[in-house]
Amino acid sequence: MSITGSIANALSGLNATSRRAEIVSSNIANANTEGYGVRQLDVSAATVAGGGSGVRIDGVTRLIDNGIIQDRRLADASLGDSTTRASFYARIEHAIGTPEAPGSLTGRIANLEASLISAASRPDSEPRLQDVLNEARGITTHLKTASDEVQTLRREADQAIASDVKRLNQGLQQVREINISIAATQARGLDGAALQDQQQRIIDSISSIVPIRQVPRDNGTVALFTTGGTILVDGKAAEIEFTPTGIITPDMTVSGLLSGLTINGNPVDTSSSNSSMRGGSLIANFEVRDELAIETQSQLDAVARNLVERFQSPTTDPTLGPLDAGLFTDTGVAFDPLNEEGLSARLEINALTDPQNGGEIRRLRDGLGAIIPGNVGNATQLQRLATALQDPQTVVSGGFSPTARGMTTLVSDLLSSYGTARQAAEADVAYGNVQYETFKTLELQAGVDTDREMQELLLVEQAYAANARVLQTADELIQMLIGL
């Protein structure tokens, strides 16, 4: 080989070594950077006229394990789904109140029963009758507060959907724009690894909203789909639309006054069982707004109805007419079975018993329809009220089983169902966390290995020294020839 050829080979080697050192340094510097893919310099032997001509740089390869990344993103979506449901169940359980919590619904029912028994032992005592009234009013307040919490959860879910849609649209548009940049960069023969890092971070940022599958396309670009087959990005970014609602009432549904979801103008099924986008926080929030919260409201209304009907019966209070309201009323009037929706939020104490509203507290003892005061020592009506509270009765709405039960048992069953659902959802959250962290650890293990990179740096130094020695030797030979 000629001296000129040797110099050319050595210079190409130095150039490759310099680029290799740059890549190793970048790998080490970004060992803890989210979304960073390990770089590897691709080189091959250059040939000219069939002979060796140094080293040719073929490009830079970004080394990632797409399988692990896909699994980690799906785990992130699953975690977003289970976390949303667990939060809902925990707040409903808190609104109803666990038995040991002060002011729980079961505790208020027990207190009302105790106050009725106490008043029956001294029917002439107005303070004891006042205790009955206060405990009854406490139940109506509690049910109204629980109903308000359900609608608050629906409103928050509606706002969360709007936020998820906004983030998703922004992320999908950014992925589309980066696709364009990556394709243009590769067309010019430049390194697009940094753009691919940014692309991965953007996709990761929306992976908890919907379960995403990434599919490679030409020129380093990607397409995104949900696991149910909905196209999110493929050339163009999907346009997802949703209109949030400021105020939500129990009668509002997605088929009525609440907004659904559209993709490119086409309606999307948002049900938790059939949606092609289910599995992340977006559809989980729809589930809270349109399924779980509506079911909860229905059960609270069923409890309120059962309570009203126990005291609205002429059997409980013989002084009542067939159309008269009992101790518990629907906004002051008798309950109409055709108007159950939202009853828990409208529940009120009958004004006939409330001195603050022009009523007489003695009606708790004498009967709501008693025109004149009765015998102050007669506890029969108070005993009927206490018996009505705990007599086994069938709950005719709310999806409860047909088993007859007392009021305390009914509320306990309601609370138990939400406690069980919360525990199941929290178990899903715990499993999702473990799954996510496992895939995240595997992803990091497949990332930058600083020990290997340091070894690579030593090889770079050796290669640099070898090429430099070739140039030095060539220089010495040239000096010898000039000296001749």
CA distance 430 to 435: 9
pLDDT in tens, the chain (484 residues): 577 777 777 777 778 788 888 878 887 887 777 778 888 877 777 766 666 667 777 777 777 788 899 999 999 999 999 999 999 999 999 999 988 888 899 999 999 999 999 999 999 999 999 999 999 999 999 999 999 999 999 999 999 999 999 999 999 999 999 999 999 998 888 888 889 889 999 999 999 999 999 999 988 899 999 999 999 999 999 999 999 998 888 888 776 689 999 999 999 999 999 999 999 999 999 999 999 999 999 999 999 999 999 999 999 999 998 889 999 999 999 999 999 999 999 999 999 999 988 999 999 999 999 989 999 999 999 999 999 999 999 999 999 998 999 999 999 999 999 999 999 999 999 999 999 999 988 888 877 777 777 888 888 788 778 877 877 887 778 888 887 6
422: amino acid identity, one letter: R
Cα 165 from chain centroid? Answer: 13
Taking a C-beta distance cutoff of 8 angstroms, is the pair 438, 426 a contact? no
**How many other CB atoms sit within 10 Å of the CB of residue 240?**
21
Taking a C-beta distance cutoff of 8 angstroms, is the pair 327, 349 a contact? yes
CA distance 129 to 117: 10
Going from the C-alpha of 16 to that of each of 50, 59, 213, 452, 467, the distances in angstroms are 21, 11, 36, 19, 10
Taking a C-beta distance cutoff of 8 angstroms, is the pair 441, 68 a contact? no
Give the residue from 382, 349, 386 showing the smallest Cα distance to 365: 382
Give the residue from 46, 41, 78 showing the smallest Cα distance to 62: 41
CA distance 7 to 2: 9
Residue partners of 88: CB distance under 8 A and separation at least 6: 153, 157, 288, 292, 293
CA distance 116 to 193: 76
CA distance 395 to 302: 7
- For helices 293-312 and 380-390, the axis angle rounded to 10 degrees is 150
Q: What is the pTM (predicted TM-score) of this model?
A: 0.87
Backbone angles phi, psi at 63, to 5 degrees: -95, 110
